[in-house]
Structure 1
Amino acid sequence: MAENDSQLSVFPAFFKVENAVAAVFGDGAEAYAKARLLKNTKARIVAYTTAPEADYAAFLAQHDIAQIAGPFAADQVDGARLVFAATGNAALDRDIVAAARDARIPANAVDQPDFCDFYTPALVNRAPIAVAIGTEGVGPVLAQMIRADIDRLLPRSLGKLGRLANAYRGAVDRLVPRGAPRRLFWRDFFKGKVADAVEAGELSHARRQATRLLRDTAASKVEGRVFLVGAGPGAEDLLTLRAHRLMMECDVIVYDALVPREVVDMGRRDADRIPVGKRKGCHSKSQGEINDLLVELGREGKRVVRLKSGDPLIFGRAGEEMAALRHAGIPYEIVPGVTSAFAAAADFELPLTLRGVSSSLVFTTGHDLTGEILPDWARLALSGTTVAVYMGRTVAASVAERLMAAGLAEDTTVAVVENAGRRDSRRLHGTLKELPGLEARTELTGPVMVIIGDAVAGADFSRSEPLGARQSAELESARN
């Protein structure tokens, strides 16, 4: 099985250590650091130390931590929940870990990854809330830098807010239905007036606000809602903040085939995920079936994210879904996304409009180039309008031929992007005369965007491949 760089070699978890023994072996700075970290918990620290350094000795005395002097003996680990070997003597630390492992007790030896059953994280403490940052032992300085950033972000009152939430948890479980209503209650609890009152130190006011929020939520009717959400061109960091928030709150994610799995996985972990992919020649569900599915889920009271590639209102068939939802009386909202034309233009640093050259832009699929009458967008291209052709590889020849026949210059610049806006994007450039060759580029399996017009000449082609290069190479090969 191929190694996956996104997989951790450790499983992040929190040990229960209240009133349990955590044994720390050592006299110096490393033992002191482990004891300080443990003091954030309710563990019963036992320090095995013969001559602790001054700072460590003062810390042990200040916190009345039990100290046991003398040489190491294997039975000293008995009964401990965790063992830290921080003596500064690598061989002795290994012996301590070996004794702990024999007793089936997790152990950690400083600076010896092979003798660590767990790693100690950089910790942000807002008890009972804790954020632990681990680097699998490879970057402790980086972990501390991240810890400092998170520490600045989280309010000092977060622990008080967490304890207040815990006091309301039983009532919420009784009065608020599971699923979206309960998630929305907690979102409003942690982000709204309750949190503001706790941060201001007004705990009585916070309790009143929490009680009012609970009463209003319990009295409200559970109502389904569908969000038609643009996922953008496929890059995770081009998803909008609103889209991500809704994906973290929804009950169901209904997604298209062109939405990458990495984007779908950004949704709430336990949300249902339903693929309804439609790609050329392969439809898992018809549009009518998708419409019926959205209506059915809405009637069940579900909050549904209908995740579409790019923007839902641009060749996303959102109009049909909106009509079905409207007819069924299901509330819905539109969340715009970055459409592929904009991502493709950004890849090329290409101005879609350019003063004095092009003042308008047309989006098309090119599939309406049939019959004798030239469509309006093709006529506009003759007057300088920039044309963005979606799903452009299979219609490249017909687009180019009809535009040249209508009078558009064969040397008009074109830009082509596969997987626009993504790390695996591929860029090509050339002229309208060379565009028909695109149909033979069967290695382009991702969505292809073609942009045509005089403004395209202002793009940066330094990182793209000439469209005609392959044709020239094939001709040269044929001559030889």
Structure 2
Amino acid sequence: MDFLPVFLNIKNQACLVVGGGEVATRKAMLLLQAGAHVSIVSPELDAVLNEYLACGKIQHRAEYFQPGHLESIVLVIAATDDRVTNRQVSAAAQQRQIPVNVVDDPELCTFIMPSIVDRSPLLIAISSGGQSPVLARLLRAQLETMIPAAYARLAAMAGNFRNQVKQHFTHPEKRRIFWEKALQGRFAAMVLAGKDRAAQDYLLQSLQQEKDEPPQGEVYLVGAGPGNPDLLTFRAMRLMQQADVVVYDRLVSPAILDMVRRDATRIYAGKERNRHTLAQESINQLLVRLAQEGQRVLRLKGGDPFIFGRGGEEIETLAAHRIPFQVVPGITAASGVAAYAGIPLTHRDYAQSCIFVTGHLKNNSIDLDWPHLARPNQTIVIYMGLLGLPVLCQQLIAHGLPDSTPAAIIQQGTTQKQRIVTGTLHTLPGLAEDAHLTPPTLIIVGEVVKLHENLAWFEPVLDAENAPANILALDPETKQPLE
């Protein structure tokens, strides 16, 4: 995050705009809307600013900028077309520790002006950190169409009831739950439909029916998918915003974790091979304890919690302790990673069945039903098999699959760090070792791997200079590692 998003209270505060043209006019109007006392420093003013001056809305000093103009100013915007002047304004303001914005020059700014969706008292600010103002404006336009003007009334009405709700509930968590239900339910629908009086009566009635008692704990067992935040379900997103505590595994990407409610407590459960921060039984008991304390607990797991995720064990423990829980499936790595690699798991010309197995290596061996796996016209998807890849390939060949059977291993599939190595059962172990792959990976074995060359559609963009040491950047055209 390059800038800290904040909202400044400049009501009745002295703010300065340096410049008298069209851009300066827009900035002055914005400051006036926020209730500031606005002064303009510029030898000349455009027609609109002259009207504002005549109406007494602004003050004007028909001068070139001098550092003395910053006396008693709390915020300054430089909006001239002279970069020398803009630099002088920035330097003088920073020397006095006054927030300064220089239009279209992020290097000279200590704060930037976002695009704004105004549903006062609800405000939404969108910023690209000065990198692409047009993109921020386009996003604002999308949000303008998605957020009805009635949201202003909804926010104001909620504000009017805030003290009543605060006095009714002694438990802060209970207040938050009440508002979440109200703002996602019938109360909000009534306001958006223009039925304000009925909405007020309904909210008051709902409040009177709620008891002031500690909230009941609950656990949300949520699949976070294979790594790409865009693949989260709507329900997963909603519960991620409601949780008081999140217990998450190593496979949950930082981008997804950032989408959890910001003030939720985060507990890392690890689950890395042979190095668990918390043992599974400890995780089970942790979920029980947190729920019994009245917390809404988000158990966030990579992929799908019911496919090699041990989610069944966790909810068995919850059920035994009569803890309420919900399960939200996630896109499992098999389907997500295969789709992004351009490898259909089934295809009528190549494979009529698909089997999922885990490839954990134990005592240098893997205990699988090899004859059942080594069948023709079948796709094998192997989770957690990087370390045991040589053994997997050897055993599949030994039990009847030709050593020329196509095979692929995909690292960090669906993300911008996705890498795909293809070969055969004979060559894949060596190719994977040469590529220095690291977990998480997924292995796909079967004739469908042949389709990757023609069906690969996802092109991750890797910065070769900034990529992690164990990740090779790929040329977008040749798909070969960059030197």
Shorter-chain TM-score bucket reads: 0.7 to 0.9
For the pair 1:65 / 2:53, whether they are aligned, the reply is no
Identity %: 37
Q: Write the mapping of 1:69-88 to structure 2, written as runs, cut at 5 A.
A: 69-71=61-63, 75-86=68-79, 88=81
Could you tell me whether the CA contact under 8 Å between 2:361 and 2:385 is conserved in 1?
A: no
Q: What CA distance in whole angstroms lies between the structure 1 residues aligned with 2:342 and 2:171?
A: 47
Relative distance call for 1:119 and 1:366 in structure 2 (3 A) is: closer
Q: What CA distance in whole angstroms lies between the structure 2 residues aligned with 1:24 and 1:368?
A: 67
Q: Aligned-pair RMSD on alpha carbons? A: 3.2
Q: Report the CA distance between 1:214 and its aligned residue.
A: 2.5
Letter in 2 for 1:65: K
Q: Report the CA distance between 1:436 and its aligned residue.
A: 5.0
For the pair 1:310 / 2:303, whether they are aligned, the reply is yes
The runs of 5 or more residues in structure 1 that have no matched partner are 1-6, 465-480
Relative distance call for 1:141 and 1:233 in structure 2 (3 A) is: closer
Could you tell me whether the CA contact under 8 Å between 1:415 and 1:430 is conserved in 2?
A: yes
SS of residue matched to 1:326: helix
Q: 1:119 aligns with which of 107, 112, 126?
A: 112
Q: 2:155 aligns with which of 144, 151, 162?
A: 162
Q: Report the CA distance between 1:219 and its aligned residue.
A: 5.6
- Determine the structure 1 residue equivalent to 2:340: 347
Relative distance call for 1:200 and 1:115 in structure 2 (3 A) is: same
- Determine the structure 2 residue equivalent to 1:363: 356
Relative distance call for 1:251 and 1:161 in structure 2 (3 A) is: same
Matched residue pairs, number? Answer: 455
Q: 1:294 aligns with which of 287, 298, 303?
A: 287
Q: Report the CA distance between 1:35 and its aligned residue.
A: 1.7
Q: What CA distance in whole angstroms lies between the structure 2 residues aligned with 1:87 and 1:459?
A: 55
Could you tell me whether the CA contact under 8 Å between 2:122 and 2:155 is conserved in 1?
A: yes
Q: What CA distance in whole angstroms lies between the structure 1 residues aligned with 2:250 and 2:241?
A: 20
Per-residue deviation, residues 438-472 of structure 1 (Å, max 9, x unmatched): 785693221222112233333337979xxxxxxxx
- Determine the structure 2 residue equivalent to 1:186: 179
Q: Write the mapping of 1:39-438 to structure 2, written as runs, cut at 5 A.
A: 39-48=32-41, 51-61=44-54, 64-71=56-63, 75-86=68-79, 88-92=81-85, 104-111=97-104, 113=106, 115-176=108-169, 178=171, 180-218=173-211, 222-366=215-359, 378-379=371-372, 381-435=374-428, 437=430
Q: 1:458 aligns with which of 448, 451, 454?
A: 451
Q: What CA distance in whole angstroms lies between the structure 2 residues aligned with 1:349 and 1:442?
A: 20
Q: Report the CA distance between 1:253 and its aligned residue.
A: 0.9
Could you tell me whether the CA contact under 8 Å between 1:362 and 1:377 is conserved in 2?
A: no
Q: 2:11 aligns with which of 6, 9, 18?
A: 18
Letter in 2 for 1:68: H
Q: Report the CA distance between 1:109 and its aligned residue.
A: 4.3
Q: What CA distance in whole angstroms lies between the structure 2 residues aligned with 1:140 and 1:344?
A: 34
Larger deviation: 446-455 or 319-328?
446-455
- Determine the structure 2 residue equivalent to 1:3: none
The runs of 5 or more residues in structure 2 that have no matched partner are 459-483
Per-residue deviation, residues 42-91 of structure 1 (Å, max 9, x unmatched): 12233456643223323444x54144354356655433332334455555
Letter in 2 for 1:224: G
Relative distance call for 1:84 and 1:95 in structure 2 (3 A) is: same
Could you tell me whether the CA contact under 8 Å between 2:337 and 2:442 is conserved in 1?
A: yes
Q: What CA distance in whole angstroms lies between the structure 1 residues aligned with 2:173 and 2:99?
A: 39
Larger Rg, first or second structure (1 or 2): 1
Could you tell me whether the CA contact under 8 Å between 1:396 and 1:438 is conserved in 2?
A: no
Could you tell me whether the CA contact under 8 Å between 1:232 and 1:311 is conserved in 2?
A: yes
Q: What CA distance in whole angstroms lies between the structure 2 residues aligned with 1:200 and 1:230?
A: 35
Q: What CA distance in whole angstroms lies between the structure 2 residues aligned with 1:421 and 1:179?
A: 39
Letter in 2 for 1:455: V
- Determine the structure 2 residue equivalent to 1:448: 441
Letter in 1 for 2:161: Y
Could you tell me whether the CA contact under 8 Å between 2:421 and 2:432 is conserved in 1?
A: no
